Amino acid sequence: MTLGQWFGLFGLGAAFYILWQIRQLVLLLFTAVVLATAANALVRRFERFGFKRGTALLLTVILCFVSAILFFALVVPPFVEQFQELIQLVPSGLRQIRRAVPDVIDFIIQFIPPGAEGINDALELAKSWALNEMVDSAEAPALTWDFTWLPDQAGNILGNFFAFFNNALGVALQMLLVFVLTLMLLANPTSYRNAFLALFPSFYRRRASEIFVECEEAITSWFSGVLISSTAIAIMSWLGLTTLGIDLALAHALLAGVLNFIPNIGPALSVIFPISVAILGPGWKVAAVIILYVVIQNIESYWLTPTIMARQVSLLPALTLVAQLFFASVFGALGLLLALPLTVIAKTWIQEWLIRDVLDRCDASGKRDSGINLGAETINNTVQVETVLLTEELGSSIACSDVPASPPSPPEPPSA
């Protein structure tokens, strides 16, 4: 390797290191890009009705603000009230589940064959653990109001308060940053797109622009589809839980709709809360809640999602789960929420650039066209097509001008 190549390799490593250090900021920027892409689809719909770009952008912002105000005014207050009651009822439901564990274990032991000693021992151990937990909770001392520890722990309490305040302030500033970036990207998306395309080699910019269009279509399809799907799941959950007589149906339904943004993991988490409340009532309600959520998820998976996301990039379930675990471990909770759009964009680039533009151009000997040859071939093909069309057009005009006019035909002789 030459000295210039070593410097290039060092610069590439330094760039990756800097991106890794600012990965949270990059993820916030990606969040703004996703929101701006979704909002830009609405702006284009307004433009189709004859509105100018500025007017369409203003209407989009007003519509989003009005929707947010109506949501926080009409939905959030009852949800907060029911969610507080839910937090108080969940521990009671969990204690009820713990009390039912010994009976369930005794029921299972009846169907275990006599030779399975290991399974019996494991179940008996679980039963004894559940019984010990019940005894410990029953023998717990009563709550006494003793504040002698308060002076010694005052420093820790203040430290936790300031830590919570800093975290809340940091989240608020991050949300403000995402909002401002979204408006800036939405105001003039073409300029930011051209600036990013300038990072690609000149021969590949047209192809990169095509891939960007495909990514934009995939993100728009995902966002609109998951928004409609989450709304439908919330409505179906609220109707079903209300019919079954489950308390706090609105809180359960909104949690189911919000958690639907996280595939695979979200639906499994959403069923925990209604089961914890249903177990405090008759036993049939637990089975009814489980059946209800299974039916809703099957409707969402096999009919609703394929219908409203027909243009979405298809992803394998195992690939989606691995991507969620990877992005959650790297970026945290926000990475888990944005795992699907990140995976969609990564899959689009791998499919279009790596597979179609690189690997599919390898010949039988293992050689492939370099990027420069690919760009040169594209330019040459375009030039050749334009040259042929121009030649045919000029040739036809010259041929028409060189052919002499045919002499007039002699008059026919009169018939006898």
For the cut 80, the answer to whether the pLDDT of residue 329 exceeds it is: yes
Least confident of 77-86, 203-212, 240-249: 77-86
Distance CA 254, CA 93 (A): 20
pLDDT band for position 370 (cuts 50, 70, 90): very low
CA distance 23 to 9: 21
- Give the model's pLDDT for residue 252: 84
- Provide, rounded to the nearest whole percent, the portion of the chain with pLDDT above 70: 71
Distance CA 228, CA 225 (A): 5
The tokens describing 49, both together, are 């009705």
- d(Cα 381, Cα 402) in Å, to the nearest integer? 31
Is the CA virtual torsion 207, 215, 350, 9 positive or negative?
positive
Share of the chain above pLDDT 90, in %: 2
Structural domains counted in the chain:
1
Is residue 310 pLDDT above 70, yes or no? Answer: no
Please indicate, yes or no, if residue 367 is contained in any of the structural domains: no
* Residue 145 pLDDT > 60: no
The whole domain housing 87 covers: 19-113+120-133+170-358
Q: Answer with the residue of higher pLDDT: 285 or 161.
A: 285
Look at phi and psi of residue 52 and say left if phi exceeds 0, alpha if psi is from -120 to 50, else beta: beta
Alpha carbon 324 to chain centroid, angstroms = 10
User: What is the mean pLDDT of the segment spanning 231-250?
Assistant: 88
**Cα–Cα distance, 338 to 326 (Å, whole number):** 11
Q: Which helix (H) or strand (E) element contains residue 53?
A: helix 53-74
**In Å, what is the CA distance from 210 to each residue of 204, 206, 207, 216, 340?**
10, 6, 5, 10, 21
| Single-letter amino acid code for the residue at 305 | T
User: Regarding predicted confidence, which is higher, 1 or 367?
Assistant: 1
Residue among 134, 130, 136 nearest 108 (CA): 130
CA distance 383 to 54: 38
Which residues lie below 8 Å from residue 266, measured CB to CB, with a gap of 6+? Answer: 258, 259, 260
Least confident of 41-45, 122-126, 239-243, 321-325: 122-126
CA distance 360 to 253: 47
- The overall average pLDDT reported for the chain is 75
Tokens of 39: 């909002």
Q: Is the pLDDT of residue 407 over 80?
A: no
State pLDDT tens for residues 257-309: 888 888 777 787 888 888 877 877 777 888 888 899 888 888 877 777 666 65
Q: What is the pLDDT of residue 77?
A: 77
pLDDT of residue 227: 85
| DSSP codes of every residue in 173-192 | HHHHHHHHHHHHHHH-HHHH
Residue 271 lies in a domain: yes
Contact residues for 78 (Cβ-Cβ < 8 A; gap 6+) = 250
C-alpha span between 222 and 405 (Å, rounded): 65
Q: Which helix (H) or strand (E) holds 169?
A: helix 154-187
pLDDT tens-digit readout, 16-57 = 888 888 888 888 888 899 888 888 888 888 888 888 888 888
Q: How confident is the model at residue 239 (pLDDT cuts 50, 70, 90)?
A: very high
pTM, full prediction: 0.64
Whether residue 338 is predicted with pLDDT greater than 50 in this model: the reply is: yes
In a domain, 409, yes or no: no
pLDDT tens, 90-116?
677 667 767 777 777 777 777 777 766
pLDDT tens-digit series, residues 218-235:
888 888 888 888 888 889
CA neighbor of 195 nearest in space, from 181, 182, 208: 208
CA 353 to CA 359: how far, in whole Å? 9
Is 377 part of a structural domain of the chain? no
pLDDT band at 397 (very low <50, low <70, confident <90, very high): very low
> For residues 234-269, b (16+ Cβ closer than 10 Å) or e, as one string?
bebbbebbeebebbbbbbbbbbbbebbbbbeebbee
**Comparing 4 with 179, which gets the higher pLDDT?**
179
Residue 365 falls within a domain, yes or no?
Answer: no
Question: Residues 108, 130: contact at Cβ < 8 Å?
Answer: no
